[in-house]
Structures are given as C-alpha cells and as structure tokens.
Amino acid sequence: MSAAPSPVPTPRVAVIGGGQLARMLAQPAIALGVPLRLLAEGPGVSAAQVVVDHTVGDYRDLATLRTATAGCAVVTFDHEHVPTEHLRALEADGVACRPGPGALVHAQDKAVMRARLTAMDVPCPRHVVVASPADVEAFATDVGGFPVVLKTTRGGYDGKGVWVVGSAEGSAEAFAAATAAGVEVLAEEKVDFTRELSALVARSPSGQAAAYPVVQTTQLDGICHEVIAPAPDLDPDLAHEAQQIALRVAAELDVTGILAVELFETVDPATGAGGVLVNELAMRPHNTGHWSQDGAVTSQFENHLRAVLDLPLGDPRPRAPWTVMVNILGGEAEVGSLYAGYPHALARDPRLRVHLYGKDVRPGRKVGHVNAYGEDLDEVLERARHAAAWFRGDLGEDSE
C-alpha cells in the first residue's frame, strides 16, 4: 500500500508596499486562491483596502520586514525601495525574495544598471557618473554638446529625479538640484527618440519566460499617460530585438517576476536605420503592462504571481488586435468622486474596462486607468482617451 500523498500547502506571498500594483496583484491572487500578506506604508493605502492580511510599517526597518514576511514562502514588491542589505537578511532567514537583491539593485540604481547593461553590450544612451558641474560640461562636450540629461541614480520615479540641462550655464543649478538627494548623479546624452517603447517579460526561478508584445508608451513630464499594445507600425525585427533584450536581461540578471524594459526608439539620421536604446528597468508589474489586464490572455499581475511562485506562466499574447490604456490622473478640475463618472463612462462604452486605485484625487496623481480594446486603433484610442478625460474632469457635457 502506498503512503497517502502529503498535501501541498498553498504558499503565502508577502508583498512589500501597498500601492496600486499590490492592489492589482490581489485580483489574480484571489482567482488562484493564493493568500497574500501585505506590508503597507500607511493605514488605508490602496492595497491595504483590499488585502485583509496586512500590517502597517516601515519597509526600511528589518524587524518590521521580518514580522511581515514570517510564515510566507515568497516575498515580492510593489516598489523597488527595500534596502538591499535587508533583502539579503531575509534571504539568510530562508525567505525567497523574488526578485532577489542581486537582480533588484539594477532597478534601484541607474549607475549600476547602466554599467551592467553596457558590459552586456545592451544598447544604452551614452552616460557617465558626474561629480561636479565641470564633469557635466566635459560630458556634454564628449557627446556633441548640450542638452544633456541629469538623473539621480537612486530614488527617482515618474520623472522626479530627471533634469534636462540646456546649456553650460544651467549645469551648476541642475547639478545642485540633482545632488540635493545625496545620491550619485548620472549624466546621459539627450536621446532624440522617435517614441518610447516598453518590452515586458515574466520570468520564473526555474527559467521559464514569457514575452508580452512590445508597446508604445507616451510620457508627459516623465509620467506615463497612454500605452498602445502592440506598438503601431513597429518594424517586426525591432520588436523582436526589443523582446530579445528584455529576455536576455531577465535571464542574465536572474530576474524573477515581471521585468519591464523601457526603451527609446531611434532612427539613425544618416542611414535611416531604426534602433532601440534602453532607458531603464523595473522589476515588478509596470504601468506599461496595465493593458494586459484586459488585453492579454494572462495579465502581467497574474504572470508576476505565477512567476514568483515558480508556477507555469500564462499566455502573454493579446486577446484583440489593439488595446489602449490611458491613465486617469487627478486633474485641476473639481470632479467630486471618481465614482460620479461611472454613469456616463460606462453607458457610453459598455466594452470599457475601468480600474480605480482607491486613492484620493490630487492634481497629477495616478488614481486609476482605463483599458479599451478592439479591431480599429483610432476607435479604440478615442474610447480610451474620452473615458480617461471624462474621469479627469476635462470634458464638458457637450463633448459626450
């Protein structure tokens, strides 16, 4: 008589950070029956509203991290700010960090990321770490003159921590602003890109990987506004190259979960040849992948969860020819609750998908997004843009 098979316990996944990414990770966790434990930065933040098993505390404190992850098989992240030494300590305790500290540092520190990608021969903008305004001027001379871009190597997001320096006179002021955060500063050539792209892949610890179609992303003031999946009119060879870069980076850096590679598409003025340069890496579900919730067979959130649990990945392919995601950013207009926008938005477009984050509306803050999909790109774009503008309070009654 064979012994009864021992039951496989369902692992619990700890998520550090209670923003909208953790909130949206909860949806496939519910569907797959995987319990989450959340460490939220404050009571009532976006994900704390939906994850019952949560504690409130500071992710920079190791004791808090230990308590929050106790009994969890895996820890993953809503943001990239957990200190590397704490992640190493959790690993030493036997908690699997996915992604691990050795991978995550490339999403935390732009100088480390640039050095590693350059060593891998992955195309990047020309760059150098600068220690003075004179260094900035010398770099500008090397790359053919101003403008150049200064970036804090750590802690930047949504364009905070990025300065375009137009002239030598502006170097000192921009350098002072960039160094105010007390971290190293990177100078980069200002890339004359034709558009921004994003290549998203999911990768599991056992090495399985799934690549989403390359998307076009529109950033305004450093904030993602709109994503079109797949990127319209993208040369198939370039799309393949972008996916290969993302897959190679994921494998070589041993990324587990979602890796988003933000790219600049370029055209060589002399030859007309197209190319891509890597702007930055994110190792978590990413705004440029939100379209996949409604537009792909398996969303980035579900594939992130599957990947960190080392489960087989889901199909990343699109469900429709076109999917458009538009962020709902808090507008200047007084719109009341976002809920008040539902009767019009939902009646106008029964195929619209709305995702709200449970956040207070403040000007410029990401408070939700809409996804629309269909056969005709212009029509899909119009539907998604209209809905986002409606929630933002930018449309009058006459534009219904």
Give the footprint of ligand ADP on this chain (CB under 6 A). 125, 149, 151, 156-162, 188, 190-191, 196, 219, 222, 262, 279-280
Q: Least CB distance from residue 264 to ligand ADP, whole Å?
A: 7
Q: Smallest gap, in angstroms, from Cβ of residue 298 to ligand ADP?
A: 26
CA 116 to chain centre: 20
> Considering the complex, what minimum distance in angstroms separates the CB of residue 224 from ligand ADP?
8
| Least distance between ligand ADP and beta carbon 72 (Å) | 28
The residue among 161 and 330 lying less far from ligand ADP, judged by its C-beta, is 161
- Residue closer to ligand ADP (CB basis): 114 or 386: 114
Q: Is 234 exposed, middle or buried (0-12, 13-18, 19+ CB in 10 A)?
A: buried
In this complex, which beta carbon is closest to ligand ADP, that of residue 65 or of residue 185?
Answer: 185
Task: CB nearer to ligand ADP: give 13 or 255.
Answer: 255
Minimum distance from residue 223 beta carbon to ligand ADP (Å):
8
Report, in Å, the least distance between residue 227 CB and ligand ADP.
12
Q: Is 223 exposed, middle or buried (0-12, 13-18, 19+ CB in 10 A)?
A: middle
208, 167 in Cβ contact below 8 A?
A: no
Closest to ligand ADP by CB, 278 vs 313, is 278
CB of 222 to ligand ADP, least distance (A): 4
Nearer to ligand ADP by C-beta: 196 or 302?
196
101 or 156: whose CB is closer to ligand ADP?
A: 156
Q: Report in angstroms how near the CB of residue 125 gets to ligand ADP at its nearest.
A: 4
Between 78 and 349, name the residue whose CB sits nearer to ligand ADP.
78
